[in-house]
Amino acid sequence: MFTSVLIANRGEIACRIVRTAKRMGMRTIAVYSQADVNALHVRLADEAHPIGPAPAAESYLVIEKLIAAAKKSGAQCIHPGYGFLSENATFAEGCAAAGIVFVGPPPEAIRAMGLKDRAKALMQKAGVPVVPGYHGERQEPAFLKQKAYETGYPLLIKAVAGGGGKGMRRVDKHVEFDAALEAAKREAKSAFGDERVLLEKFIAAPRHIEMQIFADTHGNAIHLHERDCSLQRRHQKVIEEAPAPGMTAALREAMGTAAVAAAKAAGYAGAGTIEFIADGVGGLKAGGFWFMEMNTRLQVEHPVTEAITGLDLVEWQFRVAAGDKLPLAQDQIPLNGHAAEARIYAEDPERGFLPSTGTLVALELPRGEGIRVDTGVEAGAAVTPFYDPLIAKVIAHGKTREQALERLAGALDRTVALGPRSNVGFLAALVRAEEFRRGDFDTGFIGRNLAALGAVPQPLDKAAVALGAAKLHAREASRIASLVEPEPDQPPSPWAAADGYQLAGARTLALPVTADGEIAIAQVIYDSAGLAVTVDGVAVATGAIAVETADEVFVLHRGRQTKVAPRDFSALDAGQEAGGGVIRAPMHGKVLEILVEHGARVAKGQRLAIIEAMKMEHSLVAPLAGIVGEIAVAKNGQVVEGARIMVIEADETARE
């Protein structure tokens, strides 16, 4: 077995690997970018080495820097985690050339399964069913559009080299194909350095079922049961569970046999996942599943498989990489109870799940029977625009699916994540959704139920604002009181009181605040019953959590965050006062495209610019018809959340 490992990754997966490696007696070596100098994975490892600037392309994705760090530290092996270079055959070859073991599959297997078109051709040859579509080499837009017509709509455009929903677009009509193809190719190029795509028929009511497989270098290959990853948003997994609801023993055997055949056809070794799409109409059934792709690495959702099997998949990875045989045969793999995982992200469900950045002013993660939490951050850490905004994964295990989901919902209720916005409240609502509890769901479930899940703009939480205002008022009252010292041996003067003193009746102060960018007026009332704070008659929230910083108060109430600050009267926006529309960056990111010019007339809803954050594209649209005035940014420039992008000046003659 290895005595040392360099972990070529960051965040929660790096912390996860450190724990297993240390338990196995290995010296653990971390790497870090300038943005991760104080990161949790750096402190958990036995030693750590810097590898460059914050952007991943200049640090975590630079093969030469990683191998140099491994050589310098004397690491015997490199574990790539997931993401970054985990599915990069060139990286695996570079490790071998440097005499360092790559904890992953052979480069040939990565190449065979890393490109979706070649993988599907290989699967067809091995007798594994694949989704109808076009998986060939030709990439001319006109040719692909013809193939799309022949395949039929709706269909999916998917990046040949990618996964995780990046470079993927659903197309419902032939006239929408050109724009969708352009966007998919651009996003694929940005995320994977390869703009090639394939086409797949869109399956009605699809369920996303994947099989965890393991193979060794002695010709053995098995599966460790399935996971259901159908609860997705923009093709990104949100909730994963194992086993899949409605799965029969016969169908599990059929899927498992196909998955093992796929692994053997690829000459695979190590941990991998065979992803299938299943027709969910009428429930899961034999003959109703097709191969989508293979992930030649550990998956984010691997803890649910660990929960139902009692196995440590990272340990298995190390043992296979060291040349050992698989520890267990197929008929020895346990399947105990049910497990579900929720991914807590720094994102705003009420604003289209835009990534949210900033300092985690508070982070309290749940504990309890059957609960596991994997995280790579802690209170005081910064969520930056450079990497995936995952805060933590909460995994619940129980004897039954009902028990596991109840434990997961309760754990989410106990989670406190303040600073950047998070999806915790949305996740809790999702886990409690009646249809999901019944097993009546598919990959479109979240998209169809956004309003019911609270993932649409919500009115200001006035009870939370009142609590924040009360905290601000108490702090200011304490500050003023400290400045007013009574004369020695003299009773305090009522004229020195900071409580709205008057000779008769209830005393009321108006306290202007800013709450989530909106202006609100809190009423601070003093009467015979004491002090009370309300907003439009709504009293202070009970059962809420308030965390104060130097400038504002963060309130967590019923799973929603509200940020309350004293109103800054010097911050009025001249552009808004002039009747125009100030377009601001909704998140930190990079300006990919400016789609209009100064002086151009635009219609309400017209796309103005494209910003990329965390490898996903976000379009900025005109809030009103008008004329483009100031353009404050340039293509390829970096912007921070709230930065002015451009101004649309109202013009009644502009197109509606």
- The residue assigned the tokens 């992953």 is 104
What's the rounded Cα separation, in Å, for the pair 645 and 133? 40
Active site residue 297: yes
pLDDT, residue 495, reads: 44
Q: Higher confidence at residue 551 or residue 302? A: 302
Rounded Cα–Cα distance for residues 549 and 569 (Å):
20
Q: What's the CA angle centered on 66, arms 61 and 68, to 5 degrees?
A: 145
Q: Report pLDDT digits (tens) over 27-80.
A: 999 999 999 999 999 999 999 999 999 999 999 999 999 999 999 999 999 999
Q: List the one residue out of 44, 38, 30 whose CA is nearest residue 78.
A: 30
Give yes or no for a contact between 454 and 425, defined as CB atoms under 8 angstroms apart. Answer: yes
Class of domain 206-448: alpha beta
CA distances to 169, 420, 459, 508, 535 from 518, in Å: 34, 17, 10, 22, 13
> Contact, 300 vs 274, CB < 8 A?
no
Ordered by start, the domain boundaries in the chain are 4-103, 132-201, 206-448, 462-480+498-566, 574-650
State pLDDT tens for residues 637-646.
888 777 889 9
Query: By the 8 A CB rule, do 201 and 120 touch?
Result: no
CATH for 574-650 (2.40.50.100, 3.40.190.170, 1.10.1060.10, 3.40.30.10)? 2.40.50.100
Whole-angstrom distance, CA of residue 84 vs CA of residue 82: 7
Using DSSP, state whether 461 is helix, strand or coil. Answer: coil
pLDDT score recorded for residue 576: 40
3-class SS letters over 18-35: HHHHHHCCCEEEEEECHH
- What CATH class is the domain 132-201? alpha beta
Give tens-digit pLDDT for 588-597. 788 989 999 9
Task: Give the model's confidence band at 572: pLDDT under 50 very low, under 70 low, under 90 confident, else very high.
Answer: very low
Cβ neighbours for 603, distance < 8 A, ≥ 6 positions apart: 622, 625, 654, 655, 656
Write the class of the CATH domain 4-103.
alpha beta
pLDDT digits (tens, 9 = 90+) for 363-378: 999 999 999 999 999 9
User: Which of these ranges, 76-80, 125-129, 481-485, 546-550, has the smallest mean pLDDT?
Assistant: 481-485
Output b/e per residue, 412-421; b: 16+ Cβ within 10 A: beebbbbbbb
Cα 620 to Cα 231, 501, 644: the distances in Å are 27, 49, 12
Residue matched to tokens 């139920």: 449
Active-site residue, from 27, 207, 297, 343: 297
**Interval 345-372 mean pLDDT:** 95
Q: Mean of the pLDDT values across residues 190-204?
A: 90
Pick from 20-29, 218-227, 614-623: least confident: 614-623
What mean pLDDT comes out for the span 577-596? 78
* pLDDT at position 303: 98
State percent of the chain over pLDDT 70.
Answer: 93
Distance (Å) of CA 372 to CA 92, 342, 365, 408, 426: 31, 11, 10, 10, 20
pLDDT of residue 504: 53
Between CA 244 and CA 275 the distance in angstroms is 13
pLDDT at residue 652, rounded to an integer: 59
Report strand pairing: 354-355 vs 347-348: antiparallel
For residue range 399-451, what is the model confidence (pLDDT) as tens digits? 999 999 999 999 999 999 999 999 999 999 999 999 999 999 999 999 999 99
Provide the pLDDT for residue 499. Answer: 56
Q: Residues of the chain with pLDDT > 90: what percent?
A: 73
For 414, phi and psi rounded to 5 degrees?
-90, 0
Tell me how far apart the terminal alpha carbons of the chain are, to the nearest angstrom. Answer: 68
Per-residue pLDDT tens over the stretch 464-506: 999 999 999 999 888 877 766 666 666 655 544 555 555 555 6
Place of tokens 């060139």: 90
The CB-based long-range contact list for 374-378 (8 Å cut-off, 24+ gap) reads: 374/12, 374/13, 374/15, 374/16, 374/303, 375/12, 375/15, 375/40, 376/10, 376/11, 376/12, 376/13, 376/14, 376/15, 376/39, 376/40, 376/41, 377/11, 377/12, 377/39, 377/40, 378/40
Q: What is the mean pLDDT of the chain?
A: 91
Tell me the per-residue pLDDT of 609-655, one tens digit each, with 9 for 90 and over. Answer: 998 876 567 789 898 899 998 898 888 888 877 788 999 988 755 44
pLDDT the model gives residue 506: 65
Q: What angle, rounded to 10 degrees, do the helices at 313-321 and 302-309 form? A: 100
CB 157 within 8 A of CB 197: yes
The pTM (predicted TM-score) of the whole model is 0.82
Residue 573's pLDDT is what? 42
Query: Residue 615 has what pLDDT?
Result: 58
